[in-house]
Chains A and B, each alone.
Chain A
Amino acid sequence: MSTLQKTLHPDEKIKAGKIGQTMSKAGIGLAVVFLGISIILTLVGSADTSHGHESKWARFFHAYVIGWSYIFTLSLGMLWIIILHYLVRGRWLTAVRRIAEAMTGAFPIIFIAGLGFIIPLLAGYKDLYYWAHPDAHNHELNHHLLHKLGWLSPTFFALRYVIYGIGFSALAAYFAKKSRQQDESGDPKISETLRIASAPAMILFALLTCMVAFDIAMSIAPKWFSTIYGVAFWGSGCVGSFAALALLVLAIQRSGRLTHSINAEHYHDIGKWMFAFTFFWAYTAFSQFMLQWYGNMPEETHWYKYRLFGEWQWVSIAILVGYWAFPFVFLLSRWTKRIVPALVFFAVWQLVFHWLDLYWNIMPSYDWGVVYHEGARIVSGPLTGNPDLHHVGFSPVDITVWIGLVGLWAAGVGMSLKGNLIPVKDPTLPLSLAHEVQ
Chain B
Amino acid sequence: MSNAHDNHDHDVEPTSYPDGELYGVLAEYDTPGELIDAARKVRDAGYTEFDCYSPFPVHGIDEAMGIKRTILPLIVFGGGATGLLGGLFLQWWMNAYNWPWNIAGKPSWSIPANVPIMFEATILFSVFASFFGMWILNKLPQVWHPFFRADRFAKVTDDAFILGIEAKDKRFEHQATVKLLKDAGALAVEDVHLEGDPARRNMPKWITAFIVASTAFALIPFAIAAKARNSHSSSPHIHIFPDMDFQPKYKSDVAMDLFPDGRANRGEINGTIARGSLNADDTYYRGIENNAWTTGFPKQLEINDATMKRGQNRFNIYCAPCHGFDGQGHGTVAQRVLASGGSAFLPANLVGAGGSAVMMPNGQLFNTISNGFNTMLGYANQIPHADRWAIVLYVRALQRSQHATIEDVPPEQRGSLR
Q: Given A2-B64, A3-B33, A334-B73, is A436 in contact with B115 using a C-beta cutoff of 8 Å? A: no
Closest partner residue, chain B, to A435 (CB atom): B59
**Interface check A293, CB cutoff 8 A:** yes
Cβ contacts A262-295/B at 8 Å (1 or 0 each): 0000000000000000000000001001100110
**Interface check A438, CB cutoff 8 A:** yes
Of the four ranges (under 10, 10 to 19, 20 to 34, 35 or more), the interface on chain A belongs to 10 to 19
**Interface check B112, CB cutoff 8 A:** yes
**Interface check A123, CB cutoff 8 A:** no
Contact in complex: B77, A438 (CB < 8 Å): no
**Interface check A4, CB cutoff 8 A:** yes
Pick from B33, B112, B115, B116: contact of A2, CB below 8 A: B33
Closest partner residue, chain B, to A329 (CB atom): B77
Other A-B contacts than A2-B59, A2-B64, A436-B60, 12 sampled, CB-CB below 8 A, are A1-B36, A2-B32, A2-B33, A2-B60, A2-B61, A286-B115, A290-B116, A293-B112, A294-B112, A294-B113, A332-B77, A436-B59
21 contacts between A and B (CB under 8 A): A1-B36, A1-B60, A1-B64, A2-B32, A2-B33, A2-B37, A2-B60, A2-B61, A2-B64, A3-B33, A4-B59, A286-B115, A290-B113, A290-B116, A293-B112, A294-B112, A333-B73, A334-B73, A436-B59, A436-B60, A438-B57
CB distance from A231 to the nearest CB of B (A): 17
- Looking at chain A's contact residues, is the secondary structure mostly helix, strand, loop, or mixed? loop
Contacts of A4 in B (CB 8 A): 59
Contact in complex: B36, A289 (CB < 8 Å): no
Closest partner residue, chain A, to B35 (CB atom): A2
Contacts of B116 in A (CB 8 A): 290
Residue of B36, B37, B60, B73 with most partner-chain A CB within 10 A: B60
Contacts of A436 in B (CB 8 A): 59-60
Q: How many A-B contacts are there with CB distance less than 8 Å?
A: 30
Contacts of A333 in B (CB 8 A): 73
Interface residues of B in 30-74 (CB under 8 A from A): 32-33, 36-37, 57, 59-61, 63-64, 73
Contact in complex: B64, A289 (CB < 8 Å): no
CB distance from A357 to the nearest CB of B (A): 19
Contacts of A294 in B (CB 8 A): 112-113
**CA distance in complex: A334, B116 (Å):** 26
Cβ contacts A1-27/B at 8 Å (1 or 0 each): 111100000000000000000000000
Interface residues of A in 203-249 (CB under 8 A from B): none
CB distance from A107 to the nearest CB of B (A): 35
Contact in complex: A289, B112 (CB < 8 Å): yes
Contacts of B64 in A (CB 8 A): 1-2
CB distance from A186 to the nearest CB of B (A): 26
Contact in complex: A2, B73 (CB < 8 Å): no
Contacts of A293 in B (CB 8 A): 112
Interface residues of A in 323-348 (CB under 8 A from B): 332-334
**CA distance in complex: A436, B60 (Å):** 8
**CA distance in complex: A246, B264 (Å):** 76
Of the four ranges (under 10, 10 to 19, 20 to 34, 35 or more), the interface on chain B belongs to 10 to 19
CB distance from A129 to the nearest CB of B (A): 30
Contacts of B36 in A (CB 8 A): 1-2
Pick from B32, B37, B59: contact of A438, CB below 8 A: B59
Pick from A1, A290, A332: contact of B63, CB below 8 A: A1
CB distance from B163 to the nearest CB of A (A): 14
Residue of A2, A290, A436 with most partner-chain B CB within 10 A: A2
Cβ contacts A289-332/B at 8 Å (1 or 0 each): 11001100000000000000000000000000000000000001
**CA distance in complex: A177, B112 (Å):** 47
> Which 4 pairs across A and B sit closest by C-beta, in order of nearness?
A2-B60, A2-B36, A1-B60, A436-B59
Q: Given A2-B59, A436-B59, A436-B60, is A290 in contact with B77 using a C-beta cutoff of 8 Å? A: no
Contacts of B73 in A (CB 8 A): 333-334
Contacts of A3 in B (CB 8 A): 33
Closest partner residue, chain B, to A290 (CB atom): B112
Closest partner residue, chain B, to A438 (CB atom): B59
**CA distance in complex: A289, B112 (Å):** 9
Closest partner residue, chain B, to A4 (CB atom): B59
Contacts of A332 in B (CB 8 A): 77
CB distance from B5 to the nearest CB of A (A): 38
CB distance from B134 to the nearest CB of A (A): 13
**CA distance in complex: A3, B63 (Å):** 13
CB distance from A165 to the nearest CB of B (A): 38
Pick from A290, A334, A438: contact of B115, CB below 8 A: A290
Residue of B32, B36, B59, B113 with most partner-chain A CB within 10 A: B59
Cβ contacts A426-438/B at 8 Å (1 or 0 each): 0000000000101
Cβ contacts B80-114/A at 8 Å (1 or 0 each): 00000000000000000000000000000000110
Contacts of B57 in A (CB 8 A): 438
**CA distance in complex: A438, B61 (Å):** 11
CB distance from B110 to the nearest CB of A (A): 9
Cβ contacts B105-141/A at 8 Å (1 or 0 each): 0000000110110000000000000000000000000
Cβ contacts A399-437/B at 8 Å (1 or 0 each): 000000000000000000000000000000000000010
Interface residues of A in 91-145 (CB under 8 A from B): none
CB distance from B177 to the nearest CB of A (A): 23
**CA distance in complex: A294, B113 (Å):** 8
Closest partner residue, chain A, to B80 (CB atom): A332
Contacts of A290 in B (CB 8 A): 112-113, 115-116
Closest partner residue, chain B, to A437 (CB atom): B59
Contacts of B37 in A (CB 8 A): 2
Cβ contacts A359-403/B at 8 Å (1 or 0 each): 000000000000000000000000000000000000000000000
Closest partner residue, chain A, to B33 (CB atom): A2
CB distance from B42 to the nearest CB of A (A): 14
CB distance from A1 to the nearest CB of B (A): 5
**CA distance in complex: A293, B59 (Å):** 48
Closest partner residue, chain A, to B104 (CB atom): A296
Closest partner residue, chain B, to A293 (CB atom): B112
CB distance from B375 to the nearest CB of A (A): 30
Interface residues of A in 1-56 (CB under 8 A from B): 1-4
Contacts of A438 in B (CB 8 A): 57, 59
Cβ contacts B285-299/A at 8 Å (1 or 0 each): 000000000000000
CB distance from A232 to the nearest CB of B (A): 16
CB distance from A40 to the nearest CB of B (A): 44
Contacts of B63 in A (CB 8 A): 1
Closest partner residue, chain B, to A287 (CB atom): B116
